[in-house]
């Protein structure tokens, strides 16, 4: 399992802090429900890469460039399903695949947590600040930020790396949020802890499905 974060706020990678443009993701803390002991890698994504690919995936010139590269039209139509955070997850998956020298015979499962629909104002802002999007810029963005993605800012975690990240939970959840040290230790040492916590996932799935049906999302996207 790989945990992804913004390079401009590398909390998991380097106990760091800072501001970033990958909107919607938590930062400067380790989520209480994150099983750090089960995490294999940490990846930090430059928010500039996510922003440039947001344009590539959504601007007409970007989609035209991708079509000229032989990308299936049906896939290109779905690229706006990826928002800034989703693109960061995609790039982390690419880094992981390159690090482990994976091929078309391997499978990586990631989560797309948002869509470009939430960031139309960001596209307008970039067009205003950087000028209209062009085929030339699309080529630069695809080669630098997508196909040119490297394995930098990527850490394969040792046991002590995992423990370091796990221990960061103390400052947010024990000192600030009133969680107990006993439960924090149970997350690390009690082998039954996570199985018990996630035994209710099937019920969560039912509730999520019911919510999506009520809002109409199931009919729109599924």
Q: What is the pLDDT along the chain (222 residues), one digit of tens a residue?
A: 999 999 999 999 999 999 998 987 789 999 999 999 999 999 999 999 999 999 999 999 999 999 999 999 999 999 999 999 999 999 999 999 999 999 999 999 999 988 999 899 999 999 999 999 999 999 999 999 999 999 999 999 999 999 999 999 999 999 999 999 999 999 999 999 999 999 999 999 999 989 988 888 777 766
d(C-alpha 76, C-alpha 67), whole Å: 8
141 and 71 belong to one structural domain:
yes
Quote the CA–CA distance of 83 and 55 in Å, as a whole number.
10
What totals of helices (H) and strands (E) does the chain contain, helices first?
13, 3
Instruction: Tell me the residue range of the domain where 207 lies.
Output: 191-222
Count up the domains in the chain and report the number. Answer: 2
Residue 140 lies in a domain: yes
Residue count of the chain, please give it.
Answer: 222
SS3 183: helix
pTM above 0.95, yes or no: no
């Amino acid at each position: 399992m790989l945990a992804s974060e913004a390079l401009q706020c590398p909390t998991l990678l380097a106990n760091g802090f800072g501001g970033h443009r990958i909107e919607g993701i938590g930062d400067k803390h380790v989520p209480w429900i994150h099983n750090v002991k089960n995490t294999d890698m940490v990846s930090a994504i430059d928010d500039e890469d996510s922003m440039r690919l947001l344009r590539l995936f959504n601007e007409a010139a970007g989609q035209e460039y991708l079509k000229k590269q032989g990308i299936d039209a049906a896939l290109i139509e779905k690229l706006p399903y990826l928002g800034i955070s989703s693109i960061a997850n995609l790039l982390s998956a690419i880094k992981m695949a390159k690090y482990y020298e994976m091929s078309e015979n391997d499978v990586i499962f990631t989560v797309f947590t948002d869509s470009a629909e939430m960031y139309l104002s960001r596209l307008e802002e970039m067009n205003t600040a950087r000028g209209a999007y062009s085929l030339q810029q699309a080529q630069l963005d695809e080669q630098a930020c997508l196909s040119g993605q490297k394995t930098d800012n990527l850490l394969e975690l040792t046991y002590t790396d995992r423990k370091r990240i796990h221990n960061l939970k103390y400052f947010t959840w024990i000192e600030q949020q009133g969680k107990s040290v006993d439960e924090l230790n149970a997350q690390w040492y009690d082998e039954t802890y996570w199985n018990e916590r996630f035994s209710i996932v099937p019920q969560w799935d039912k509730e999520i499905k019911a919510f999506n049906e009520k809002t109409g999302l199931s009919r729109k996207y599924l």
